[in-house]
Amino acid sequence: MVRIRMQRLGRRNRPFYRIGVAEKNTRRNGPLIESLGFYDPVEKDPAKQLKVNAERVKYWISKGAQPSDTCRDFFGKLGLIDVKAWEADRKADREALAERLAKKAAEPVKEEKKK
């Protein structure tokens, strides 16, 4: 599976991220199939913080590439993906996580009652 994700570059306490397309199993700073843009969180001017090639992002999403959660946030704000579907996915993920945590928290209580 192909993912659209960020690579961390820059020095310590001065992050800089490259947004690119990579195979899911490659390491974080491994080779990219294609670079799609960058994100500079330290930049003071919001217009210069994020630069993305919108045409290539749409192309890769049409080919089945899955953006990471952070990249999905960026693309939603830029209007490159359907925000409503994205919000539904996020809501389902949050509910599943809450259920897992509740189930995990309830397990030790059950074990104590058995003793």
Question: What are the extents of the domains in the chain?
Answer: 2-80, 82-115
pLDDT digits (tens, 9 = 90+) for 2-52: 999 999 999 999 999 999 999 999 998 889 999 999 999 999 998 899 999
pLDDT at 109: 60
pLDDT digits (tens, 9 = 90+) for 87-108: 787 788 888 889 999 988 887 6
CATH 3.30.1320.10 fits 2-80, yes or no: yes
Residue 1: closest CA among 85, 60, 89: 60
pLDDT digits (tens, 9 = 90+) for 40-81: 999 999 889 999 999 999 999 999 999 998 898 899 888 888
